[in-house]
Amino acid sequence: MNNLTRLPERAMELASHVGDGIKDRVPDRAMKWIETGAALGVLKTGSRVATRFVRRNPVVAVAAAAGAGLLWYAAHRRAKQAEDGAIEGKATRVEAKRVNGNANRRRSSSRRTRAQPAET
């Protein structure tokens, strides 16, 4: 019973030991070829899945592309604003002054509307 419970652990140990041994014995070029092959396999599978999804859900794909474009545009504008930097300046407050001391009174209008006599 003890051997059966330890079997998965032992299998993992052997697999890691064999993997390390292969890594040590295989030249670097071969490992790069294996990694490249694995990356190409993932890319091929991912493109198949993405194509199938886009064919089934074109509206979602267009919305996702538009959202990605908007995010890129916002990031681009923010980076450009950060590049330009803040504008440094000096501001002074100008108080409003009254030119005429009598400005509080309303000026009476020279044109007053008169009631026109009714024509008979």
Q: What is the pTM of this model?
A: 0.36
Q: Which pair of tokens denotes residue 10?
A: 């032992």
Length of the chain: 120
- The per-residue pLDDT string of the chain (120 residues; one tens digit each, 9 = 90 and over) reads 566 667 677 777 777 777 777 666 666 777 677 788 888 898 899 999 989 988 999 899 899 999 999 999 999 999 888 877 666 778 888 888 877 765 555 555 555 555 566 665
CA-CA distance, 91 to 86, in Å (whole number)? 15
Helix (H, G, I), strand (E, B) or coil at 91: coil
Residues with Cβ within 8 Å of 34's Cβ and at least 6 positions away in sequence, in order, are 26
Domain segments of the chain: what residues? 2-81
Q: Which pair of tokens denotes residue 63?
A: 């919305």
